[in-house]
Amino acid sequence: MSFGPFLLLALMEGLVTAAVLALAASGLSLVFGVMRVVNVAHGEFYMLGAVIAWFVTTLVPGPAWAGFLVALAVAPVAVGALAAAADRLVLRRLDYDPEATIVATIGLLYMIQQAALSFYGPDARPVAAPFDWRLQLPWFGYSGYKLFVVLAAAVVLLALWLFMTRSKVGLVMRATQVDRDVAQAFGIDVDLVYMAVFGIGAALAAVAAVLIVPIQQAHYLMGHDPLLLSFIVVIIGGLGSLRGTVVAALVIGLSDGVISMFFSPTLAKILATLLVALVLVFRPQGLFGVRDR
């Protein structure tokens, strides 16, 4: 394959990675930004979204797109509800103490993973794509669905941005992020905000998973990689910064696509990790993060 098409394929692959990563990482970033909780179970909420998508598409009769749309609605709500319950029952009782919540979410990680293993099983199961369209370029073919994933992720992120910047609820969340005590003094139910934020963060991971599951397959161990990559993205972009998360996801996704295609996927991971180290040394608050006041 000559250089041009090679680069094109690398960029397309990178864009898909970036899109899904941006969605998953924005959930992690939101939770950290508002609640200052490092959610280690984030990858398992992602996995749960994929597993629920498999159950839903199996149960819903009719064409593949119908099942997919139902999954796109049901999975984030179910995962968000579970996360909100976890916040209410576990995190709130720990008073959102940073160290304690890390340990608690590690516990949550294992509980969700083992529950999926028990109830869903150890197999990787495919979910049919909502439509079957392939883009045939002169040099290679490409899945039309993958392009749809990029588009859908962009729409969801735009909606999230509008929600955070233009809606009343978004304003309340941002107020809580800036100063929890003052927000409470102004009559904001901080507990409710935290519960909602944790739920929305998990729901974003679930949306990413429902979008990716027709490309990959639903598997109980699939949460590891997205968790690691989300952390990389969030650290580079700046914890709590949505804009930084999206920019970092694009950088990591596209460089992953290009480096892993021209060199090797292992090198791409090495460089991403190196970048994290450099950011932590020279700009610990991340590219777009704000230093603690």
Under 8 Å between Cβ of 49 and 206? yes
**Shortest separation between residue 153's beta carbon and another protein, angstroms:** 16
Give residues 58-97 in contact with another protein (rule: CB under 8 A).
none
State how far the Cα of 93 lies from the Cα of 189, in Å rounded to an integer. 16
Q: Which of 141, 181, 185, 293 binds another protein (CB under 8 A)?
A: 141
Under 8 Å between Cβ of 77 and 53? no
Which is nearer to another protein, 10 or 37 (by Cβ)? 10
**Shortest separation between residue 225's beta carbon and another protein, angstroms:** 7
Helix (H) or strand (E) holding 29: helix 3-35
Which is nearer to another protein, 229 or 250 (by Cβ)? 229
Give residues 243-282 in contact with another protein (rule: CB under 8 A).
257, 260-261, 265-266
Helix count and strand count (H, E) for the chain: 11, 2
Residue given tokens 């292992």 in the structure block: 266
Span of 44-52, 80-88, 120-128, 153-161 interacting with another protein by CB under 8 A: 120-128
- According to the binding rule CB under 8 A, does residue 117 interact with another protein? yes
State how far the Cα of 33 lies from the Cα of 245, in Å rounded to an integer. 11
Residue given tokens 């669905």 in the structure block: 145
Q: Which amino acid is at 229?
A: L
Task: Write out the two tokens for 260.
Answer: 């892993």
**Shortest separation between residue 136's beta carbon and another protein, angstroms:** 5
Span of 34-42, 74-82, 103-111, 138-146 interacting with another protein by CB under 8 A: 138-146
Which is nearer to another protein, 116 or 200 (by Cβ)? 116
Which is nearer to another protein, 88 or 269 (by Cβ)? 269
Give the burial class of 142: count Cβ atoms within 10 A of its Cβ; 0-12 exposed, 13-18 middle, 19 or more buried. middle
Dihedral angle computed from the Cα positions of residues 78, 81, 86 and 87, in that order, rounded to the nearest 10 degrees: 150
How many residues line the site for another protein (CB under 8 A)? 34
State how far the Cα of 11 lies from the Cα of 254, in Å rounded to an integer. 6
Span of 1-9, 24-32, 175-183, 232-240 interacting with another protein by CB under 8 A: 1-9
Which is nearer to another protein, 133 or 186 (by Cβ)? 133
Query: Can you say how many angstroms the Cα of residue 243 is from the centroid of all Cα atoms in its chain?
Result: 14
Which is nearer to another protein, 96 or 148 (by Cβ)? 148
Q: Where are the beta strands (DSSP E) in the chain?
A: 134-136, 141-143
- According to the binding rule CB under 8 A, does residue 9 interact with another protein? yes
- According to the binding rule CB under 8 A, does residue 107 interact with another protein? no
Residues that bind another protein (CB under 8 A): 1, 6, 9-10, 13, 17, 117, 121-124, 126, 128, 132, 134, 136, 138-143, 215-217, 219, 221-222, 225, 257, 260-261, 265-266
